[in-house]
Amino acid sequence: MSLIQSAKLNGHDPYAYLKDVLTRLPTQPNSRISELLPHRWTPAPASI
């Protein structure tokens, strides 16, 4: 619940945020995990 609220507070659509983060999480290096926090998150580029 706190991730959803944090996403809202940072101006993100919670569904889009969670979908992107859960998709990227398995391949995200541990050293870059903080990039997925709501206050630092940027959506992954759309794949063609």
Residue-wise pLDDT tens digits, 1-40: 798 999 999 999 999 999 999 999 999 999 999 999 999 9
Give the model's pLDDT for residue 40: 95
Return the HEC string of 1-48.
Answer: CHHHHHHHHCCCCHHHHHHHHHHHHHHCCHHHHHHHCCCCCCCCCCCC
Give the model's pLDDT for residue 44: 82
Q: Which of 1, 27, 33, 25 is nearest to 14 (CA)?
A: 1
Give the model's pLDDT for residue 47: 62
For the entire predicted model, the pTM comes to 0.84
Give the model's pLDDT for residue 48: 58
